[in-house]
Amino acid sequence: MECPVCGGPVTMEPGPDQPMSASVADAVLAAGEDEQIVVNRNCWACGWTEERSMVINSIETTTGDPEVGERAILIKNIMSEAEEIQSLETLKDALAEMRRQRRLETTVTDSTDDVDKK
C-alpha cells in the first residue's frame, strides 16, 4: 500500500485494543459480532496518518473437513515411525503392506462402483 501524499510505504496496525504483535487480519478474525476494530495507517516517510474503524455486523463460519487434519497427523506419525526403523527388511515389509492395503482399497472401491452402475 502506498501513501496518498508522498507515495511512500504505509504500515497498517490494529488499534489500541489489540496486542502490539497482532496483524490487522488477526484482529479481524479474533473479533466478535458487533465489535469495533480500529486500524491505523501510517506513512513513516512523510508522517501521514489515517485511522479507520469498522464494525463486524455478522460472522459466517464454515468448517473444513476434519478428516483432512486427521490424515495429515497420521501421515506425520507414520513418517516419524518409519524414520526410526533401522532395519531395511522391516521398511521393505512396511512398504509392501501399505501397497497391499492400497490395492485392496482400490479393489473395494472399484467393486462398489461396478455395483452402483448396475
pLDDT band at 41 (very low <50, low <70, confident <90, very high): very high
**Percent of the chain residues past pLDDT 90, beyond the cut:** 58
- Residues 59, 33: contact at Cβ < 8 Å? yes
pLDDT of residue 114: 57
Of 15, 56, 63, residue with least CA distance to 32 = 56
- Residues 10, 3: contact at Cβ < 8 Å? yes
> pTM for this structure?
0.49
For 93-114, what is each residue's pLDDT tens digit? 999 999 999 999 888 766 655 5
pLDDT of residue 66: 86
How does the average pLDDT of the chain come out, rounded? Answer: 88
For 75-89, what is each residue's pLDDT tens digit? 999 999 999 999 999
Dihedral-angle region of residue 67 (phi above 0 means left; psi in -120 to 50 means alpha; beta otherwise): alpha
42, pLDDT greater than 80: yes
Alpha-carbon radius of gyration of the chain = 27
3, pLDDT greater than 60: yes
